[in-house]
């Protein structure tokens, strides 16, 4: 039987291929018959479910309520907001026939739900007592990707999208940042540090006044847009007629936000933590937190398996699996579970049974220790917490050490990571950067927004700089 570790391309050799290999060998997902769309397999979907469960809890704690709107959106709704439809036009999938007939009015498969929801918001919101309206839905959307990639950029993907309406700009902007803090906390739960800040005019959400983003650094130095929160202003309210009567009986437009996080977060976990042996999952979202591998030989199977089951029972608060597959060597099983990123592996043979111990292997750092059976529950609890923190610390150290300060665009060269630079914030300079280096602005960090740039001159044009921004290639 082959070793699936050997099928994984080293990160340094080809990071993109490494990612595809890990998705395949860890049995997370595979391509489907539909161009650009994938099949998420049970192990991969369980990771997403664990992320989703945590985020559901966090969103509910903010007071937002869940709702569900239809998949299909009248094209006229999308076309109503010019900037919005122009932003999504290249990615739209359109239904022109149904029931064996050509439709009088074509329907779009939602790329996002502003246009699907806001006509209804106009009916639901009449007076100031109907505000704020804060709704969230878990759904699928379709964006026809030119370069699909598992979890990160499939044409169809799962996510949550929140849509809220407020009486004032101040209330709306407060929530924009509140929801971004929710996402920042969620990524900490995934042991991933994020860079949070405002998007440029070119990179903000189509139809928004302001977009806030949480950016993740992958191990090849590229950026993953991990989550976004948008202040939409009154742009959509004007188009869809979302008005309310204030306390003085005067008609006002609502101020709106939208915010979302997708299963791109699964891709971020893979790219932020994985190594040449495969996944390294934070215990919080590991489908299996502890795998027990019995070492069976010389007819000792009954005794060893009984010992393994006792341990599983003692670790009942954790997600524990005993690998009882027959005719497979322990060595193969070790490799198999390393690729799948299980945080802790317990190796148990006759020697461990006799000494009332277990051999404990940590996936995050490769350490193996002997632990007394009586101490195991407490020791595993400590180890889980330590693995979670260690993965965060490693990712944070990698991120910090791969943000390079540059003063001129010529300094980019072949450096791996993000770039901090003083920038004039013009669309023309960003277009030039993207065309020549495939690099875009990622965020203006919150703490930098109130500070003067370190260099008075823009690193691209030499003109007056406004702020210090983070730039990178991205997925």
**Collapsed DSSP state (helix, strand, coil) of residue 412:** coil
Quote the pLDDT of residue 146.
85
Any idea which residue has 């920038």 for tokens? Answer: 423
Indicate yes or no: pTM above 0.85.
yes
Split at pLDDT 50, 70, 90, the class of 300 is low
Distance from the first to the final alpha carbon of the chain? 35
Average pLDDT value for residue range 87-105: 91
User: How confident is the model at residue 2, as a pLDDT?
Assistant: 52
pLDDT at 71 over 60: yes
Note the pLDDT tens digit of each residue in 137-151. Answer: 999 999 998 889 999
All domains in the chain, ordered by first residue: 4-273 (3.30.930.10), 283-399 (3.40.50.800), 403-472 (3.30.110.30)
Residue 89: predicted pLDDT = 78
Token pair in block for residue 315:
């670790």
Give the integer Cα–Cα distance in Å for 358 and 173: 53
What's the average model confidence in pLDDT over 357-364?
98
116 within 8 A of 146, measured Cβ to Cβ:
no
Helix (H, G, I), strand (E, B) or coil at 37: coil
Mean pLDDT of 291-305: 88
Q: Are strands 368-372 and 403-405 parallel, antiparallel or unpaired?
A: unpaired
What's the mean pLDDT when you consider all of the chain? 95
- Write out the two tokens for 457: 């001159």
CA dist list (Å): 129 to 2, 93, 133, 245: 65, 38, 10, 9
- pLDDT of the residue at 177: 98
Residue percentage of the chain with pLDDT more than 70 = 98
Instruction: List the Cα angle 27/30/33 in 5-degree steps.
Output: 155
Q: Are 156 and 141 in contact (CB under 8 A)?
A: yes
Write down the pLDDT at residue 87. 74
pLDDT of residue 70: 97
**368-416: pLDDT as tens digits:** 999 999 999 999 999 999 999 999 999 999 999 999 999 999 999 888 9
Q: How far apart are CA 299 and CA 353, in angstroms?
A: 14
Q: Tokens standing for 44?
A: 């991969």
CB-based contact 289:319 (threshold 8 Å): yes
In this predicted structure, what is the pLDDT of residue 1? 47
Region 194-203: what's the mean pLDDT? Answer: 97
219-233 average pLDDT score:
98
Pick from 62, 343, 23: which is nearest to 183 by CA? 62
pLDDT of residue 79: 85
For residues 58-93, one letter each, b for 16 or more C-beta atoms within 10 angstroms of the residue's C-beta and e for the rest, the string is: bbeeeebeeeebebebebebbebbeebbebbeeebe
């Amino acid at each position: 039987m082959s070793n699936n570790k050997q099928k994984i391309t080293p990160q340094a050799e080809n990071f993109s291929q490494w990612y595809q290999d890990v998705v395949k060998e860890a049995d997370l997902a595979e391509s489907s018959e539909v161009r650009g769309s994938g099949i998420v397999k049970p192990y991969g979907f369980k990771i997403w479910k664990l992320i989703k469960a945590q985020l559901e809890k966090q969103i509910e704690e903010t007071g937002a309520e869940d709702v569900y709107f239809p998949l299909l959106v009248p094209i006229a709704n999308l076309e109503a907001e010019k900037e919005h439809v122009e932003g999504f036009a290249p990615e739209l999938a359109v239904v022109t026939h149904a029931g064996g007939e050509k439709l009088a009015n074509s329907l779009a498969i939602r790329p996002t739900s502003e246009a699907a929801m806001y006509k209804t918001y106009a009916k639901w919101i009449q007076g100031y007592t109907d505000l704020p309206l804060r709704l969230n839905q878990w759904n699928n959307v379709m964006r026809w990707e030119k370069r699909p990639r598992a979890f990160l950029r499939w044409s169809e993907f799962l996510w949550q999208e929140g849509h809220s309406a407020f009486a004032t700009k101040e209330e709306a902007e407060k929530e924009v940042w509140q929801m971004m803090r929710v996402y920042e906390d969620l990524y900490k739960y995934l042991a991933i540090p994020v860079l949070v800040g405002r998007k440029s005019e070119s990179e903000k959400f189509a139809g928004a006044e302001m977009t806030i983003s949480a950016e993740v650094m992958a191990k090849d130095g590229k950026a993953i847009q991990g989550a976004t929160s948008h202040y939409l202003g009154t742009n959509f309210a004007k188009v869809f007629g979302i008005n309310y009567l204030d306390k003085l009986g005067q008609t006002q437009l609502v101020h709106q936000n939208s915010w979302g996080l997708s299963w791109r977060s699964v891709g971020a976990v893979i790219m932020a933590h994985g190594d040449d042996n495969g996944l390294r999952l934070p215990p919080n979202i590991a489908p299996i937190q502890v795998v027990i591998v019995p070492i069976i030989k010389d007819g000792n199977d009954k005794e060893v398996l009984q010992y393994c089951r006792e341990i599983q029972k003692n670790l009942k608060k954790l997600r524990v699996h005993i690998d009882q597959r027959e005719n497979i060597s322990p060595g193969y099983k070790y490799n198999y579970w390393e690729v799948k990123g299980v945080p802790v592996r317990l190796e148990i043979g006759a020697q461990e049974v006799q000494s009332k111990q277990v051999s404990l292997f940590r996936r995050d750092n490769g350490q193996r220790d002997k632990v007394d059976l009586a101490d195991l529950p407490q020791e595993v609890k400590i180890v889980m917490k330590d693995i979670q923190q260690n993965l965060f610390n490693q990712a944070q150290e990698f991120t910090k050490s791969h943000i390079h300060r540059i003063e001129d665009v010529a300094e980019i060269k072949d450096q791996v990571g993000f770039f901090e630079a003083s920038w004039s914030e013009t669309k023309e300079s960003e277009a030039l950067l993207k065309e020549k280096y495939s690099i875009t602005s990622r965020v203006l960090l919150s703490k930098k927004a109130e500070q003067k740039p370190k260099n008075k001159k823009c690193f691209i044009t030499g003109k007056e700089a406004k702020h210090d921004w983070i730039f990178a290639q991205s997925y």
